[in-house]
Chain A
């Protein structure tokens, strides 16, 4: 356990970043193309799934979560789950309260 002053940094190559960036651009293209089609409910679902995939790519590679200590990943998961619980509970409340 020697964190502290030491910079035990994992150097990530430019190529990895460029690949992730190309992936993000492709997903942006796909999500715009899909939005042009009329798929009813699936339009929202696909848009949100693609946004989530893009978010995971940014968090794991650009924000280095993949290479950090496990503590960071646990923190991030707990924070996102907390938000999801807020969201789900709000909808339970909202759907039944009327």
Chain B
């Protein structure tokens, strides 16, 4: 008993600090995307007609499916933390795996969405796009930058989820020490939060 206490005392761990650190990082992410949202707002204000016209070319159904996919992945991520708190390791691994699989579905959808646009010449610098009005060009520029930056975050999330699955398997993340999984969850929910705003701003507002 004494021995294990001594070992505990030597293991320096600060879950509270780890979580504060994660939140501080999320605030920098908020400002990163926030800056782009401000650019979007100003250009939308200036080129309302062009934005309206261009936004009709995005497939609302694909956007909605991706919204549902991301919301569901947030659910499985949140549940994986409850599972590990209850000591249900295999359930937790399965739920993180489901999150990862849903992230992949999101990326596959994105791939088809983007390639379809590329085929129509609608990409930054594309001939067909450059013949259009300034508002439409700016809309597609922002569309690629903002959803692209978001997609990079999804890819990074998939790498993080893979690490979490390994950590859960090896017991590095366990019933008594799961702050890494919690912080991964916070990151994943932020990715979801950004999409919650990207979806209406690009797909719905005509």
Residues of A within 8 A of B77 (CB): 62
**Measured between alpha carbons, how far is A5 from B189 in the docked complex, in Å?**
25
By secondary structure, the B interface counts as helix
Q: Does B38 contact A (CB under 8 A)?
A: yes
With contacts defined as CB atoms under 8 Å apart, how many contacts are there between chain A and chain B in the complex? 129
8 A Cβ contacts from B1-23 to A: 8, 11, 13-17, 19-20, 23
Please measure, in the bound complex, the distance between the C-alpha atom of A58 and the C-alpha atom of B16, giving whole angstroms.
20
Residues facing B in A21-75 (CB within 8 A) are 21, 24-25, 28, 31-32, 35, 43-44, 47-48, 50-51, 54-55, 58-59, 61-64, 68-69, 71-72, 75
- Structural contact, A94 and B42, CB atoms closer than 8 A: yes
Which of A6, A20, A48, A86 is close to B38, meaning CB atoms less than 8 Å apart? Answer: A86
Interface size on B (CB < 8 Å)? 53
Find chain B residues with CB under 8 A from A94 CB: 42, 45
Q: Report the minimal beta-carbon distance from A32 to chain B, rounded to whole angstroms.
A: 6
Offer 29 A-B interface pairs, CB within 8 angstroms, sorted by A.
A3-B16, A4-B14, A4-B16, A4-B17, A5-B8, A5-B15, A7-B177, A9-B85, A9-B178, A11-B86, A13-B82, A17-B75, A17-B78, A21-B74, A32-B60, A32-B64, A47-B201, A55-B193, A58-B192, A62-B74, A62-B77, A62-B78, A63-B185, A63-B189, A75-B20, A86-B38, A87-B41, A90-B41, A91-B42
Taking the nearest CB of chain A, how far is it from the CB of B199, in angstroms? Answer: 8
Instruction: Report how many residues on chain A are interfacial, defined by Cβ distance under 8 Å.
Output: 49
**Neighbouring A residues of B37 by C-beta, 8 Å:** 87
Q: Would you call B153 an interface residue if the criterion is a C-beta within 8 Å of the partner chain's C-beta atoms?
A: no
A47 contacts which of B60, B67, B179, B204 (Cβ < 8 Å)?
B204
Given A5-B15, A43-B206, A48-B200, A21 contacting B186 (CB threshold 8 A): no
